[in-house]
Amino acid sequence: MSTVTKRVVIVGGSIAGLMHGVVLKSLGYDVCIVEARHPDQLKAQAAGLSLGPSAKSLMETFLPELDTESYSMSTATAQFLATDGTIISENKTSIPVVCSTWGLVFEHLKNEFLKPVSGSGEVQYLTGKRATSVQDSDDVVTVNLSGFDEDLVKTFSAHLVIIADGAYSTIRNQLTPGVEPKYAGIIAWRGNVPESRVPPELKAVFDGKLLMFRAGGSYLIAYLTPGPNGNAMGDRLLDWVWYDKCDVDSQDFQETMTDKSGRKHRVTVPRGALSEAVWAKRVERARAVLSSPWSEMVTTSESPLVTAITGFESDKAAFFGGKLLLAGDAFIQFRPHLGSSCNLPALQALTLLKILNKELSLIDWEDQMLSHGKEFAMRSIAAGQFGMTGTYPEGYVPLYAMKKADQTSA
Ligand SMILES: Cc1cc2nc3c(=O)[nH]c(=O)nc-3n(C[C@H](O)[C@H](O)[C@H](O)COP(=O)(O)OP(=O)(O)OC[C@H]3O[C@@H](n4cnc5c(N)ncnc54)[C@H](O)[C@@H]3O)c2cc1C
């Protein structure tokens, strides 16, 4: 990887692309991010997003003027509740869970990326431009892009290309065909209610607790997040995710993933697009299987969205001698049960600094990213199994239990 020519192209302008963008810009690189979608399309999918330790560290280091508490809520206890509201289990999380929203994290990263700073590189954030393929030549990687006037295909070349175009990455598919996300047999229903409407039985969220409830082979998580106006008291939201099984071959799956205009979605039916019949069926299921506070929370939510849960792991992050790197969901996609999806790209961006400063070899960087990614992919699957069934895979030790054991033996 050359650091002489300081030009980087980043494919994908969501969380991973922007995290790499702010880090590389601060090092003086000229960074061009190309994003296929337009801003409104992005916001319609946004919900709660938690920040793991690397994501929090990246935000605090590269957005130092921003107080973490201004856009997030921290929780350190997970409480599993029974149908009658009694506590089944309560555990300290292995690390505090920092709950924010995709929209706020995206907006802050994008503002930071676009902010002119003396000594930093030149930046561009192009929307509506889709990367179609890449080619390697001696010094540079060329990215071919569509979405320009008169259907022109333009090419951008750079000494470093970061591929952050998500789990269904076009470019990863070109480089390693056949590595594809697999549907986990679970649909996540997501929504929120204003804090003023939080049912009294769920008020423990105000003490910084993450609440969980299992019923009918499904489970729900609820936590407090900032609202669109921030996290002052009264502005916050109770965000919830309800994981429920759904067979890919079932009529239920086909109906759920088809929006009110008849369009079929592969992964997410965005806010405002869910068909009335689908939502009515979900409300019926909520009333049938959930106890009253949870059912009330779900059925009174506005603009819910659904996501088919997928996951996969790549075996390679670096291509073309390190001139092209896979980042975030384009590299490894975790199931969302641990909320660690934006931690991996943050760790990648922070560790990339060490390669650029020649403190770490490319091979060691790739090894570290693979082992972190694979461990969290496995842990996310185990957490999902626990949520749905109440048991972990045989022999599995959750992080909070490992931490407890360490403290006992110390
Ligand atoms: C709009 C949106 C909303 C989300 N909301 C949430 C949320 O609320 N909670 C949560 O936990 N996770 C959410 N996610 C997923 C979350 O961002 C990721 O799981 C994680 O943060 C890693 O992000 P990523 O940037 O690697 O992938 P993604 O967030 O999937 O971003 C990939 C980006 O690449 C763009 N892209 C795709 N193909 C091309 C191409 N060929 N050329 C150029 N650009 C391309 C996509 O439009 C997208 O913006 C959301 C993702 C998106 C895109």
Ligand 1 centre to CA of 332 (Å) is 13
Residue-wise pLDDT tens digits, 289-348: 999 999 999 999 988 999 999 999 999 999 999 999 999 999 999 999 998 899 999 999
pLDDT number for residue 287: 96
Asked if 185 and 246 count as a contact pair (C-beta separation under 8 A), the reply is yes
Instruction: Show me where the domains of the chain are located.
Output: 7-63+103-181+311-389, 73-100+183-310
Tens of pLDDT along 150-161?
667 799 999 999
pLDDT of the residue at 299:
96
Ligand 1 centroid, distance to 17 Cα (angstroms): 9
* Ligand 1 pocket mutation, candidates 15, 174, 340, criterion most atoms within 8 A of CB: 15
Cα–Cα distances (Å) from 202 to 30, 100, 291, in that order, read 48, 19, 12
Q: How far is the CA of 51 from the centre of ligand 1 (A)?
A: 15
Q: What percent of the chain clears pLDDT 90, i.e. is strictly above it? A: 77
Residue 119 pLDDT > 90: no
Q: For atom 15 of ligand 1, which residue has the closest CA?
A: 341
Q: What is the SS3 string spanning 189-222?
A: EEEEEEHHHCCHHHHHHHHCEEEEEEECCEEEEE
Buried b (16+ CB within 10 A) or exposed e, 341-351: bbbbbbbbbbb
Model confidence at 3, in pLDDT bands (50, 70, 90)? very low
Query: What is the C-alpha separation between 143 and 136, in angstroms, rounded?
Result: 9
Contact 158, 316 (CB under 8 A): no
C-alpha count within 13 angstroms, C-beta hemisphere, residue 217: 7
- State in words which class domain 7-63+103-181+311-389 has: alpha beta
pLDDT class of 148 with cuts at 50, 70, 90: confident
Confidence at residue 44, expressed as pLDDT on a 0 to 100 scale: 67
Q: Which residue is it, tokens 């302008």?
A: 13
The pLDDT value recorded for residue 228 is 82
Residue 321 backbone zone (phi > 0: left; psi -120 to 50: alpha; other: beta): left
What is the predicted pLDDT for the residue at 408?
Answer: 67
Residue 405 has pLDDT above 80, yes or no: no
Task: Give the position of tokens 């008169």.
Answer: 150
What's the pLDDT score for residue 409? 66
Task: Let me know: does 197 contact 300? Beta carbons within 8 Å.
Answer: yes
Amino acid at 150: E
User: Residue 370: helix, strand or coil by DSSP?
Assistant: helix
The alpha-carbon radius of gyration of the chain (Å, integer) is 21
Residue 178 neighbours by CB distance under 10 Å: 5
Does the pLDDT at position 1 exceed 70? no
pLDDT digits (tens, 9 = 90+) for 235-287: 999 999 999 999 999 999 999 999 999 999 999 999 999 999 999 999 999 99
Residue 50: both structure tokens together: 């938690």
CA of 15 to the centre of ligand 1 (A): 7
* Region 218-242 average pLDDT: 92
Q: What is the pLDDT of residues 341-368, one digit of tens each?
A: 999 999 999 999 899 989 999 999 999 9
CB 112 within 8 A of CB 61: no
- Spell out a b/e string for 235-255, using b for 16 or more CB atoms within 10 Å of the CB, else e: ebbbbbbbbbebeeeeeebee
178: left (phi over 0), alpha (psi -120 to 50) or beta: left
Of 179, 221, 168, the closest CA to residue 383 belongs to: 221
Query: Does the pLDDT value for residue 4 go beyond 50?
Result: no
pLDDT score recorded for residue 244:
98
pLDDT at 370 over 80: yes
DSSP 3-state assignment of 250? coil
DSSP state of 227: B
Distance of CA 393 to the CA centre of its chain: 24
Is 225 in contact with 244 (CB distance < 8 Å)? no
- Say which residues have a Cβ less than 8 Å from residue 409's Cβ, sequence separation at least 6: none
Rounded to the nearest integer, the mean pLDDT of the chain is: 92
Q: Decide whether any atom of ligand 1 lies within 6 Å of the 130 Cβ.
A: yes
Tens-place pLDDT, residues 163-211: 999 999 999 999 999 999 999 999 999 999 999 999 999 999 999 899 9
Instruction: Report whether residue 336 contacts ligand 1, using a CB cutoff of 6 Å.
Output: yes
- How much distance in Å is there from the Cα of 44 to the middle of ligand 1? 12
- C-alpha dihedral sign at 395, 397, 401, 403: positive
Residue 373 Cβ contacting ligand 1 at under 6 Å: no
CATH for the stretch 73-100+183-310: 3.30.9.60
Mutate to test the pocket of ligand 1, among 14, 143, 380 (most ligand atoms within 8 A of CB): 14
3 state SS of 294: helix
Could you read off the pLDDT of 83-99 as tens digits, one per residue? 877 898 898 888 888 99
Q: Residue 410 pLDDT > 80, yes or no?
A: no
Is the minimum distance from the CB of 103 to ligand 1 under 6 angstroms? Answer: no
State the average pLDDT over residues 65-72. Answer: 92
How high is the pLDDT of residue 229?
Answer: 82
